[in-house]
Amino acid sequence: MYDMKALYEAASVADAVALRTAHPEAQIIAGGSDVLVQMRAGKRAGKELISIYGIDALRGVSLDGEENLRIGSLTSFSHITRDPLIQKYLNVLGEAVDQVGGPQIRNIGTIGGNTCNGVTSADSASTLHAYEAVIELTGPDGVRREPIRDFYIKAGQVDLRPGEIQTAILIPKASYENTFGHYIKYAMRSAMDIATLGTSVNVRLTADKKRIDRCRIAFGVAGPVPLRAEHAEAAANGKEISAALADTFAKTVLEDINPRDSWRASRAFRQHIAVESARRAFVESVRLAGGEL
């Protein structure tokens, strides 16, 4: 069923790095929800695989010493959705990954696999960009950390260097504290479908709940990689909350996005739903933060 050259099973992070160094052409496999499907289709025929699925140290959600949220790369989508820390501080991420595939995929699929694929349609990607996530990578030279916006190089390619594996995703406290967000996935079907467009907005309001203290918005499938709409963010930051602001914010996303024509949707249609979903996600984020429009 699966045409593979060899399968190596890593028992620890150090073991995985050693295997990656010894077998530089090998493909890392975690849950296998993407890799095994591709192999069965013949796209990765004859490949060596390095399984990291048995490394329990890469699972779970925690707060580090600086109160940054740390999500182990092998944490499943189902775990993320149910995790108390995610529900308390970053519920929008739990809601986003709860829209990945069906229950079986969410039980086996991992957040690390979702990001390392480098695809712009990944349901976690826009929210992680909107919350300025940092990717932790471990390799022969130790641990390095890279902003997620720099981790994505181009469609299907991320900055994973020789011998490295992704070990965690960090959400800075400054990005999630007193911040509320909403994710909208637009797809051709309501379930079990790849996003035609993904939109993630989060806001932090001033103490009187009248103004936007901080706003972030990111899209998936609005360009070759997930991206922030920084002109729209600038249009909202510091402004008084109003319906007019929501409209201005939404229309301004067109200055940043660059969707393409595809069989799923035309460029013009993606631009249309980007504006509408930006407005709706902004309004809902403000509501969740305690503001009124």
The pLDDT tens digits along the chain (293 residues) read 567 789 999 999 999 999 999 999 998 998 877 777 777 777 777 789 999 999 999 999 999 999 999 999 999 999 999 999 999 999 999 999 999 888 888 988 999 999 998 989 899 999 999 999 999 999 999 999 999 999 999 998 999 999 999 999 999 999 999 999 999 999 887 667 789 999 999 999 999 999 999 999 999 999 999 999 999 999 999 999 999 999 999 999 999 999 999 988 999 999 999 999 999 999 999 999 999 98
How far apart CA 83 and CA 217 sit, in angstroms, is: 24
From CA 236, how far away is CA 218, in angstroms rounded? 14
Measured CA angle at 21 (ends 16, 24), to 5 deg: 105
| pLDDT value, residue 45 | 72
Radius of gyration of the chain from its Cα atoms, rounded to whole angstroms: 19
The three-class DSSP label of residue 257 is coil
Could you tell me which residues come within 8 angstroms of residue 124 by beta carbon, excluding any fewer than 6 positions away?
77, 93, 96, 97, 100, 111, 114, 115
> Angle CA(256)–CA(264)–CA(158) in degrees, nearest 5?
55
Residue pair 167/73 in contact by the 8 Å Cβ criterion: yes
pTM: 0.94
Cα 288-255-227 angle, rounded to 5 deg: 60
**Cα atoms in the 13 Å half-sphere on the side-chain side of 105:** 18
217, 130 contact by CB (below 8 A) = yes
148: closest CA among 172, 183, 164?
172
pLDDT, position 188: 83
Q: Which residue has the tokens 């990291």?
A: 52
Nearest to 21 by CA among 33, 34, 10, 37: 10
Domain architecture of the chain: domains with CATH? 4-51 (3.30.43.10), 61-174 (3.30.465.10), 177-288 (3.30.390.50)
Q: Which residue has the tokens 């379930």?
A: 191
Tell me which residue has tokens 């995929």.
105
CA distance 256 to 251: 10
Q: Which amino acid is at 73?
A: S
Give residue 191's pLDDT.
64
Helix (H), strand (E) at residue 134: strand 134-139
